[in-house]
Every structure is written in structure tokens, then in C-alpha cells.
Amino acid sequence: MASKSKVLVIGATGYIGRHIALAGPAEGHPTFVLVRPSTLASNPPVLHSFQAAGITLLQGSLEDYESLVAAIKQVDVVISAIGSNTLDQLKIMEAIKEVGTIKRFFPSEFGNDVDRVHALEPAKTHVFGLKAQVRRAVEESGIPYTFVVSNGFAGYVLSNLLQHGLQAPPRDKVSIYGSGDVKFISVLEEDVGAYTMKAVDDPRTLNKTLHLRPPANIVSMNSLVEMWEIMIGKSLEKVMVTEEDMVKQIQETPFPGNILPAIFHDIVIQGDHCNFELGPNDVEATARYPDHKYTSAREYLAKFL
């Protein structure tokens, strides 16, 4: 049996990056993370979790090109999970081309399919547009790649039923956006990491887009709220929020605070998680890796009971 690829995760201390990095050893991959000197000095708990999992910490940053090249030389596959400064990934690509031995690059996607969105500003330009630029650059570079479309993180769309500012699902009143019937997708962050790492050495995901579409997690606002009501044995007061209301809020909220509302609009009004069919360059993760038992929306919500 061939040995599993050595993987470098860049942006591993970020929101989704830590889950991707921790999935590496769990999937049998020798895993490395690039850590800024300042982060090493502050010694946050996430670094202890990496070390406990057997992950190797490499000191360096995107600003220190020599350290970036040195880190990439130690691995076979590079996964970027940087959450901001999206175009900095062009530096990673430059280093990958210089090293010349990388078998695959996963740019920092981990959200909506950026080529199939109809988003409002500022999300259109400042999130999806920048990620699309990176996609085109990757395709034109000739670097082998996999794009991961994980859709909505459970911590953002399930933990509070898309109610901005709440830390848990509401038990009295809930806002319903638009008709409430538009379907969207949520995926547990640990499952995003697992599916990403499963794709690392999979030839069927090479130069393809991996879509995470867990069947039990394809819901609408109405069906999600109904699920929660059944679980708590109580009906919630519904406040209907029109698309016009959402657009007005986005326009009146100062940047960058209006980015997340614009993404929510894309999800629950435009329906850009589910309003397209997968094509020949797309692979669906739950069908491709049926051995992985993902966490369903119901199972996730149960922890709030």
C-alpha cells in the first residue's frame, strides 16, 4: 500500500484551518502547519492540540518567502485555509512552482461555489470575486488542484438558525428570510476537514471541485425551524423578513459588517448552495466517501438541548 502524502496546512490556526489540520493525522497523513513566529511565541492552545495530534509545527509566514519555500519542500500537498488577504495565495503558488514537486494544491475555498454565485456587494467582490481570481490563477498555472466547496459551516448557519448575534438556537422568536423555502447546506467543521483530507490522494478529485452536500443537511429555513421546534417541543414566533428588508440592512450596514449578511442573502434568498446540478468536473463528497459518517443537522442541534 502506497504511503500517504505529506500535507502542509497554511492558515491552520484559523477557524476552518484547525479542523483541516487535525483531520490530517486522523486520515493517516504526516501533517505540517506553517506558524508565524509571533503565534509560536504566544503559544495558543491550538498549537498544543496540533502537537498532541502529532502535527509538526514549521516556523514561517507568507511574508517570509524563504520560510514558505522551505516548508513546501518538506511535503507533497499544500492546503491553504487563510481566511483573509485571499490574493496572498498567489505567493503560495509562486513557491509551489519554484519547488516543483507538489502533487496537489487546495486553495482556500471552503464556502460557496464561487463560480456559481449571484451575490450582492460587498460579498460579490470582497469574498467570492477574490476567490474566483485565485481559481483562475490556479487553473492557468498548471498546478494540480482540488477546489473544496463546503457550503455553510454549521457553526455559522446551524448554531443559531441564522439568527445574527445569537450563540444558540432561539427558543422564543425566530426570523424567517424570504419565503423560508429556499434550500441551503450546512456541514460540521470537523467533517469539512475529514472530507478535505480524504481527497488529498484521491485521483478522482484531481483537478476537480469537491462539493460537500450531506443529504440530511440540505434544509430550508422553514424545515430547519420545524426540526428545532419538534426537538424542543415548542412553537416559535415567526418574524418574516423580506428580501427587500435584507437588502436594505446590507446597504445600511458599514463595511465590513455587511459581508456576512450579504453571504446569508446569497444562501437563503438566491439559493446558491443548491440551485445548480453538478457537472463532469464536480465530485460529491458524501457519495464519494460513504465510509465517513457525517454529523447531521439534527445531531448537531441536539447538543443545544
Q: Name the maximum alpha-carbon separation found in the chain.
A: 60
Mean pLDDT of 139-151: 98
Q: Report pLDDT for 23.
A: 98
- pLDDT score recorded for residue 2: 74
Q: What percent of the chain has pLDDT over 70?
A: 100
Residue 174 has pLDDT above 70, yes or no: yes
Q: Which fold has domain 7-152+187-213+277-291?
A: Rossmann fold (3.40.50)
pLDDT of amino acid 69: 98
142 touches 104 (CB < 8 A)? no
* Within this chain, domains 7-152+187-213+277-291 and 156-181+218-269 share the same CATH topology: no
- What is the band of 132 on the pLDDT scale with cuts at 50, 70, 90? very high
Q: How confident is the model at residue 1 (pLDDT cuts 50, 70, 90)?
A: low
Closest CA to 219 of 173, 165, 273: 273
Q: Which residues are catalytic?
A: 131
User: What is the distance between the alpha carbons of residues 305 and 301, in angstroms, rounded to a whole number?
Assistant: 7
The residue count of the chain comes to 305
Average pLDDT estimate for 160-173: 96
- Whether cis (ω within 30° of 0) applies to the bond prior to 122 is yes
Task: State which CATH number among 3.90.25.10, 3.30.70.330, 3.40.50.11310, 3.40.640.10 fits the domain covering 156-181+218-269.
Answer: 3.90.25.10
Domain boundaries in the chain? 7-152+187-213+277-291, 156-181+218-269
Residue 161 has pLDDT above 80, yes or no: yes
pLDDT digit string (tens) for 47-83?
Answer: 999 999 999 999 999 999 999 999 999 999 999 999 9
Q: What are the distances in angstroms from CA 114 to CA 6, 125, 148?
A: 28, 11, 11
Tell me how far apart the alpha carbons of residues 75 and 65 are, in angstroms, rounded to a whole number.
16
What is the per-residue pLDDT across 241-264, written as a single tens digit (0 to 9) for each? 999 999 999 999 999 999 999 999
Summarised one tens digit per residue, pLDDT across range 177-196 is 999 999 999 999 999 999 99
Distance CA 268, CA 178 (A): 8
Mean pLDDT, rounded, for 30-42? 96
Average pLDDT in the chain: 97
What is the CA angle 152-157-158, rounded to 5?
A: 115
pLDDT tens string 276-292: 999 999 999 999 999 99
